[in-house]
Structure 1
């Protein structure tokens, strides 16, 4: 006859197990979530010299319960009179030194974000999944972080982007044509590992994208300094050529307009002579 074992679970044991599970659940939840404390204000952002200053109703945010996994679960703060979360179009996060990525879930609270300003964090990668929550984003200002890479198709869900600031990061590589789907007016990438340049006109942005495709490609490490200088010289020559070509086209257009005016005058003269 086999021995039988009986397990007696006392109320104390049940309480201990329940408490343990509750503690584990809380630890897990806290590692997956954070709170955002907002100081709501009207804030001006300087985008570039041609664009100038842009004004947005902004959450100047401070994060609590920072963890590697950053999901915003609560937002606190008092709005300015007559405003609510739907009026918020800007977010500022500064000096969040434990933050390693763009937090998720902003769109749950602020569905109309046009500008994200995030500096002095440990963010290392720009991912498509992080930007998916900002379908109306116009300006992405991520200077002075630790960004090394940009994910393929990172900007596929932000077609309205007009300006990107990535100055003073650690960018080593950029996927080919990463910026091509966009219609950028400003692209700043000064003081990075693979590139040190910026552009604040559409023509210069197109030039800079070509340079980035070369210098920040997987073969970028094989390009020596002399060749890098030559690439910049050629790109600048191309810009100068394009400006000259545009100026020539403008002159031709002006001449055509004047010729048309002369033709109209001649027609009037002939009409009076025939009378």
Structure 2
């Protein structure tokens, strides 16, 4: 009887967990980007009509808008994913499983409340992270631990009050950092590694 009860409790937990998970489909307009130096074509995904208001919202399918791709298209060739001026209060889950080679990730003007290491963990090739005009209050410790290739981070016009002191220390390629119009700091460093290092020191003082 005890074993049966234990099984029931575990099963119930799984059902509750699944019921709390939301699955959505996203529509992408794909734009090809031809690189002459490498003679290769990659693709940019610009999303349409996205709405995410609950945590743990999983993107389970991407629909192409109006046959915008070519025969050479594959999801592994998508290097940019953009959600702009839509309602995305929480980071969309599973994007990393669909687009495994993203270099640019944009969630701009979407009311995004938070960003975590778990959200970014599998974007190993990420170079440009653009999260401007959202409602992020805190940048947690080791947020970018698994994104060592980051060159640009845009957090313009959020509501940042706390940024962990060591957040940016291991990002050796970071040369552009936008932090203008935040609570604890309002500065930027553009295409200059030395200026980024100075800004990081100010963050450690002002955003404890």
Q: Alignment partner of 1:129: what SS?
A: helix
Distance 2:194 2:89 in 1: 34
Structure-2-length-normalised TM-score: 0.80
Q: For residues 1-275 of structure 1, what are the structure 2 equivalents within 5 Å?
A: 28=19, 32-42=22-32, 57-64=43-50, 66-69=52-55, 70-77=57-64, 78-81=67-70, 82-97=72-87, 99-183=88-172, 184-200=174-190, 201-217=192-208
* Higher share of residues assigned strand: 2
Distance 2:42 2:108 in 1: 18
* Higher share of residues assigned helix: 1
Q: Report the alpha carbon displacement of residue 106 of structure 1 after superposing the two structures with TM.
A: 0.9
Higher mean C-alpha displacement, 67-76 vs 148-157: 67-76
Question: Are the equivalent residues in 2 in contact too, given 1:152–1:178 (CA < 8 A)?
Answer: yes
Q: Report the alpha carbon displacement of residue 32 of structure 1 after superposing the two structures with TM.
A: 1.7
Q: Mark the runs of 5 or more structure 1 residues left unpaired by the alignment.
A: 1-23, 44-54, 218-275
Q: Alignment partner of 1:211: what SS?
A: helix
Structure-1-length-normalised TM-score: 0.61
Larger radius of gyration: 1
Q: Alignment partner of 1:157: what SS?
A: coil
**Residue 47 of structure 1 corresponds to which residue in structure 2?**
none
Question: Are the equivalent residues in 1 in contact too, given 2:50–2:86 (CA < 8 A)?
Answer: no
Q: Report the alpha carbon displacement of residue 120 of structure 1 after superposing the two structures with TM.
A: 1.2
Q: Mark the runs of 5 or more structure 2 residues left unpaired by the alignment.
A: 1-14, 34-40
Distance 2:48 2:54 in 1: 16
Deviations along 1:145-197, one digit per CA (max 9) or x if unpaired, are: 11111111110010110110000110001001110010211011000010000
Question: Are the equivalent residues in 1 in contact too, given 2:103–2:128 (CA < 8 A)?
Answer: yes
Aligned-CA RMSD value: 2.1
Distance 2:32 2:135 in 1: 28
Deviations along 1:184-234, one digit per CA (max 9) or x if unpaired, are: 1101100001000000200000000000110001xxxxxxxxxxxxxxxxx
Question: Are the equivalent residues in 2 in contact too, given 1:58–1:88 (CA < 8 A)?
Answer: yes
Aligned length: 180
